[in-house]
Chains A and B, each alone.
Chain A
Amino acid sequence: MRDYLVKRGASALATLALAIVLNFFLFRIMPGDPTRTVVGDFRVTPEVRQVLIHQFGLDQPLWVQFILYLQNLFMGNLGVSFQYRGTPVVSIIFGRRLLNTFILMGSSMGLALIIGITIGTIAAWKRESKFDISTVIFSLVTYSMPVFWLGMLIILVFGYYLGSIPIAGTMTVGLTYSNVFEYAADYLHHMTGPLVTLTLSFVGFYFLIMRDSILDVFTEDYMLTAKAKGLSDRKILFRHAMRNATLPMVSLLAVEVTYLIGGATMTETVFSWYGIGRLIYEAVVMADYPILQGIFVVMSVAVITANFCADVVYAFLDPRIRY
């Protein structure tokens, strides 16, 4: 177990190092003055610019810049934003936006997982029934839909025609709340649209994997044993099949975090959700390179950690993995 952990940990660190190197060079391959992407914007005041040029060594050779970049990175200095006129990138990313994105992504992932696992198990149990076939078709349809289009449809139907969800934003602008419950209710009301969009776009994936996994488990000998012991169908399904079939889902969860960030970017943009995904879009439109660079680092750390955790949890749950 320890050897395995050390091996995975080293590999995660190597990947992270590569990500940081890539991040440094990606923003310096642009044509023209290399300092342009760090400080060269009219929205940054000359005084701040001088400080930054000194901090990041922009008047020095590339390798010095790289070392200074690493140094600043470890001290938590990611530069300053262009569009927010010199606000440090760190304070923009780690704030309200990150929390909003966490809440949205976490809840949609949880919902998709619960629904996907339940429906997948039932569909596999009643293989080739009407329920099975219609759920497979449903997941195929949601897979083929672009996420942003699904979001637009939901705004059109539930926002415009039915008027049951707010069409944009995280909170109602200008509303004052008398207590925390009203606040939460307004927040959740605004979250409905993006939450449904993200959940729908991911539930199909979980469903298909779970269904496949259960079908695999059904062929195992211990299923026959369980049946021979005279266990009830429900017990066989939920005690034996589901628990074993959920195992591969753990490693998929980390992969899903990666896709979820992409989906969240789209969804947050369509619904104007005040989160990191929308920040990426805004930064791209406003050519706010320091923000993008900062998000790249944070994102890399997040997904690499998630993958490492999934490896560890998986090894813990399934001793065969540890060799």
Chain B
Amino acid sequence: MLCTLFWTLEFDIRKAVDLKTEALAGLELKEERFWIYRRKIGDFWRLYRRSPLGKLGLGIVLSFVAVSAAAPWIAPFDPFSFVGDPFLKPSSTHILGTDQVGRDIFSRVIFGTRISLLVGLVASAMTIAMGSAVGLVSGYLGGRIDNLLMRITDLFIILPSLPLMLIMASILGKGVWNIIIVITVIGWTPTARMVRSQTLSLKERPFTEASRAIGSTDLHTIRRHIVPNVFPLVFANGMLAIVDAILSEAGLSFLGFGDPSAPSWGMVLYFANTAGATVNGFWWYIVPPGICIMLLVMGFAFVSYSTDQILNPRLRRR
């Protein structure tokens, strides 16, 4: 009840802001626009703060960011050097024991945060960029290009992503950047679909038509009138893209496509599997990296859920 009230309220504010943005669009008052965007972000934050799940998710994500930033100070050992006998059990010096060549597992998990986060963020950013570009072009231009692009999108949506990623990874070879490229090339389609449908509807709105009528170029219309209106949804969707990217990275690294010089959590699990940790009962080698993946994924999923509740007009009115 309260929610509905507060959504309608927020909706009115937003409508007012939108109207003002439109009115100002022709005037080129850059400074004014800056304050409008700032207020929009402020509005968003005020709404976001009320969602307990959103706060929990943000808390989880930020703590992982903190861990990855402070990794050299938190980790007791260097993740690459051989600091003890192989297969030591957990003790006070080695909290999670050592791996098959005597590296400290706890330190490796701490440093793994960096790679997992980095790949998740960079790959999803690239996924979003590529998907948005395709979606904008496809939706705005329409016609044959739209047809072809959407066929390709259909194909990528329909094909199983993991085997496709494996095939691509085997062609490109090992390495962190190759994993990022693979995730991008395979994962851009949902964003493209969403951006296209948004663009199609925005194209017909009066303000885009007005912009075309006064002789703006296509690029200008896209940049000033379509992108700002598509952005909120892309942003909410981006959080889920991070989730997918983190899980894909973990899977690819687990299957041995990671870069041994940049170990992620998936990579730690890969080594655990090759060392036979499951059949020997080394729970300390298996459980912690997986829990980290799970928590980070949950964190981003919560953030995505709360963001979607605020930014997606369909959900807002429910």
Contacts and interface: CB of A to CB of B under 8 A. Distances in A.
A11 to B, nearest CB: 8
Nearest to A145: B294
A18 B154 CA distance: 10
Nearest to A155: B278
Interface string B163-189: 110111111000000000000000000
Contacts of B297: 143-144
A10 to B, nearest CB: 12
Interface string A265-300: 110011000000100110011010100100110011
B8 interface: no
A271 to B, nearest CB: 10
Interface in B138-163: 151-152, 154-155, 158-163
Given A160-B278, A284-B167, A299 B160 contact: yes
A141 B294 contact: yes
B21 to A, nearest CB: 34
A146 B293 contact: yes
Contacts of B255: 266, 269, 281, 284
B7 interface: no
A56 interface: no
B160 A262 contact: yes
B254 A303 contact: no
A35 to B, nearest CB: 15
Contact of A303 (B159, B283, B301): B159
B290 A145 contact: yes
Given A149-B269, A159-B278, A281-B255, A261 B163 contact: yes
A270 B155 contact: no
Q: Chain A, interface size: which category?
A: 35 or more
Contacts of B171: 26-27, 29-30
Contact of A284 (B166, B286, B298): B166
Interface residues of B, number: 43
Task: Please classify the interface of chain B as helix (H, G, I), strand (E, B), loop, or mixed, using the class held by over half of its residues.
Answer: helix
Task: Please classify the interface of chain A as helix (H, G, I), strand (E, B), loop, or mixed, using the class held by over half of its residues.
Answer: helix
A55 interface: no
A67 interface: no
Given A27-B171, A152-B286, A262-B160, A160 B166 contact: no
A280 B251 CA distance: 14
A144 B298 contact: yes
A281 B256 CA distance: 10
A304 interface: yes
Among B160, B283, B293, chain A packs the most CB atoms within 10 A around the CB of: B160
A90 B69 CA distance: 51
A262 B187 CA distance: 14
A212 B82 CA distance: 52
A304 to B, nearest CB: 6
Interface string A295-323: 11001100110010000000000000000
B290 to A, nearest CB: 4
Given A146-B251, A281-B255, 18 more contacts: A19-B155, A140-B301, A144-B301, A146-B290, A149-B254, A149-B294, A152-B286, A152-B290, A167-B278, A258-B160, A262-B160, A263-B162, A265-B166, A270-B273, A284-B170, A287-B170, A292-B167, A296-B167
30 contacts: A11-B154, A15-B158, A19-B155, A140-B298, A143-B297, A144-B294, A144-B295, A144-B301, A145-B294, A146-B266, A146-B290, A152-B273, A152-B290, A156-B277, A156-B281, A160-B279, A160-B280, A262-B160, A262-B161, A265-B160, A265-B163, A266-B162, A280-B166, A284-B170, A289-B170, A292-B167, A299-B163, A303-B158, A303-B159, A307-B158
